[in-house]
Structure 1
């Protein structure tokens, strides 16, 4: 019972965030941090692979970059346009490749996946990877994401909506200080 209540709470919270952000417009350029250009250049730098590992040491997982290399955001309005565009390009690339692993790498968990007949929160990466890829990469979603104009992304409380015409879409935003996919709507 408690597990069901927590899922209902998470679903309600995510829906409230998505709905609350729908009418929001982007913040004025005057409110962006002065060093936003510098921050976006840093966020576009690839993480350097560690060198000189001792034998027997396991290398760090690819998605784990050293803390100094990660861009940290306070909310969706603190994300500059260049960083939003760069993250949207990553999403477009993995969606075009129908790459479940790549998409999972860009997601936060639990995550809302709003299938038309079975909307759900996937609790873990493994739960997401267990979904049917043909359902996740539905033709409508592929078209909307691939033709989205990433140069006109606007921040809202819910995040950034990646879609050509509105729906289906992928919503991404700040989760625990980093950009991540927070929902997929069909």
Structure 2
């Protein structure tokens, strides 16, 4: 029972992490998979309250599911093994979430920038003296020659949320 509670807490924490990093309306496949795992744990908790033969039948059904309904692949599955299987599945989802929320590399940033320029979400201005990226409302976002953001909203953001700013040297 304790392991079931720990898995439920782990799933809920991952769902909260997804909701913080994405629009609430956007139920990603990862969120749906986690909800499915949570439902499986709730089923198991309910079945555990019933007589023992119900739990055995449920685990036999799960054995058939995991063996793809092929008797040659059928493995003995008890409650602890089933919880371990769920834990492994949750770990795979957790790994995918970590990868998707990681900071994009330079290549991804340039691709995103290109898409936003193409969609006219960012306007690029090039002349002999300057190269700038500007938001459609006319606010200067970044000077491409110096790398400076004007106004420096990044610094304000970092100070507001007390995040340590890293020094970056441009060569």
Scaled by the length of structure 2, the TM-score of the pair is: 0.22
More strand by share: 1
More helix by share: 2
Bigger radius of gyration: 2
Higher RCO structure (Cα 8 Å, ≥6 apart): 1
